[in-house]
Amino acid sequence: MSDSFNYAALIVARQSRGCTQTDVAQAAGISQGLISKVENGVRSLSREHAQKVANYLGYPVNLFFESGPILEGKSGCLYHRKRKTLPAKTLDLLEGRMGVRLINTRHILHGLEIVAERSFHTLDPDEFGGPENVAHALRRAWRIPPGPIRNLVVLVESAGAIIVMSSFGTQKLFGMSQWTTRDHPLFFLNADTPMEELRWTIAHELAHLTMHGTPTSGDLEQEADAFAGEFLAPRSLLLPDLLGLNFGRLPALKMYWRLSMKALIKRAEVVGAVNRQEAVRLYKQYSARRWNNAEPYPLPAESPTLVREAARVHLEEHGYTWRELAQAARLDEQELRRELLGDAPEVGAKLRPLSLVRD
């Protein structure tokens, strides 16, 4: 732990609790102006005042004495998949929570090396001739066999990604991604979202991380969706299944391709299996059943295991207690179990093995 106060840690901690500078200042018994100066890196907080802020926000005080920047890696960009109507205040809160999760996962993975089967690539869509071609290139690089990707979470974790699922308290934000320490990206995903939407969100965020580390001439969101569609369901493989598409075939196609039925209608139009008029007719049938709010035939859950397995290694092999692990992660023990480990099983209930070795 550093002896210097980390102003960026204060910012994300405050945002993660939905608090204002005034709230924090009153809790610490200091002026809002001083908090403003601290968050701008002009002043620092004493350990006494830092402890009061930590108590108010519900974090261990060592969270505020992180060494180094909060955002690290190839790019400082934070990517989102969200609805346009998401309130800015809610986005700020969830960006703060993700910032805290960057710190938490950094410490849980400290002392462990992720030996990944695959690696992330930076591919320029302009050089490759478009996002669809980038999707093909990444499928080849990751040695994905033809057909649907059966478990996208396992695939992305096998490249060293850190995936954290949490209830966002809103349906207007699906997920976010950010490069983190040692170039292992963090995917922060809304656990309240159906699995078919989460899969599209992961592919969408993967597109940003792969293609958008440097400026591009295209529309970033359109490029990310074009990549996601081609990565999850390549046109050459999908087109024969969608020719002559009718509404009754959508449930079976959903379970096979692991895409939402709405996404399948869109893909059918994109790949040329149906024309615009036929797609509109399918959308109307979809809306008439009120499936926009809750689509039937849920996909099997795909659960991340990397962070949970790292916690198991610390608990079983390194001799940590739960209290020590929470302190190391810069979290309260209950929040550690609930938010990062998903009410983790008792020690000894080994999860899917991952290639984690000591540094």
Per residue in 183-211, is it b (16+ CB within 10 Å) or e — as a string? ebbbbbbbebbebbbbbbbbbbbbbbbbb
Given a cut of 80, whether residue 76 has pLDDT beyond it is: no
Compute the distance between CA of residue 312 and CA of residue 359 in angstroms, rounded to an integer.
Answer: 16
Residues 282 and 199 in one domain: no
One-letter amino acid of 316: E
pLDDT at site 215: 60
pLDDT at site 2: 57
* DSSP label at residue 179: -
Does residue 298 form part of some domain? no
pLDDT at site 100: 94
pLDDT tens-digit profile of 114-138? 888 999 999 999 999 999 999 999 9
Does residue 295 form part of some domain? no
Residues 106 and 171 in one domain: yes
User: For residue 252, what are the contacts with CB-CB under 8 A and spacing of at least 6?
Assistant: none
pLDDT at site 82: 76
- Lowest mean pLDDT of 179-183, 273-277, 325-329, name the range: 179-183
pLDDT tens-digit profile of 44-61? 999 999 999 999 999 999
Residues 182 and 121 in one domain: yes
Does residue 7 form part of some domain? yes
- Strands 173-178 and 186-190 turn out to be antiparallel
Compute the distance between CA of residue 39 and CA of residue 70 in angstroms, rounded to an integer.
Answer: 13
Q: Total domain count for the chain?
A: 3
Which of 10, 36, 70 finishes a domain? 70
Does residue 275 form part of some domain? yes
Residues 198 and 340 in one domain: yes
Provide φ and ψ at 49, rounded to 5°.
-70, -35
Q: Which residue has the higher pLDDT, 81 or 58?
A: 58
Place of tokens 């809103």: 170
User: What size, in residues, is the chain?
Assistant: 359
pLDDT tens-digit profile of 295-339? 999 999 999 999 999 999 999 999 999 999 999 999 999 999 888
Work out the percent of the chain whose per-residue pLDDT is above 90. Answer: 77
Does residue 297 form part of some domain? no
- Mean of the per-residue pLDDT values of the chain: 89
Residues 123 and 179 in one domain: yes
Residues 342 and 245 in one domain: no
* DSSP label at residue 7: H
pLDDT tens-digit profile of 232-258? 999 999 999 999 899 999 999 999 999
Mean pLDDT of all residues in 35-43: 94
C-alpha dihedral sign at 188, 193, 194, 197: negative
pLDDT at site 179: 83
Given a cut of 70, whether residue 225 has pLDDT beyond it is: yes
Place of tokens 């020590």: 324
Which of 70, 89, 124 finishes a domain? 70
Does residue 299 form part of some domain? no
Stated pTM of the model: 0.90
Work out the percent of the chain whose per-residue pLDDT is above 70. Answer: 90
Which of 17, 42, 70 finishes a domain? 70
Task: State the burial class of residue 86 (Cβ atoms within 10 Å of its Cβ: 0-12, 13-18, 19+).
Answer: middle
236: tokens are 């050459």
Residues 81 and 179 in one domain: yes
Given a cut of 70, whether residue 181 has pLDDT beyond it is: no
Q: Binning pLDDT at 50, 70 and 90, where does residue 70 land?
A: confident
Residues 126 and 206 in one domain: yes
Residue 344: count other Cβ atoms within 10 Å of its Cβ: 19
Q: Binning pLDDT at 50, 70 and 90, where does residue 216 land?
A: low
Domain that holds residue 31: 1-70
Does residue 296 form part of some domain? no
pLDDT at site 77: 55
212: tokens are 């958008």
DSSP H helical ranges for 167-219: 195-211
Compute the distance between CA of residue 54 and CA of residue 32 in angstroms, rounded to an integer.
Answer: 16
Residues 200 and 270 in one domain: no
Residues 45 and 176 in one domain: no
Task: State the burial class of residue 179 (Cβ atoms within 10 Å of its Cβ: 0-12, 13-18, 19+).
Answer: buried
List C-alpha distances in Å: 189 to 1, 220, 261, 287. Answer: 29, 19, 21, 26
pLDDT at site 269: 97
Residues 135 and 203 in one domain: yes
Does residue 176 form part of some domain? yes
Compute the distance between CA of residue 15 and CA of residue 152 in angstroms, rounded to an integer.
Answer: 30
Residues 104 and 213 in one domain: yes
One-letter amino acid of 74: K
CA end-to-end span of the chain: 19
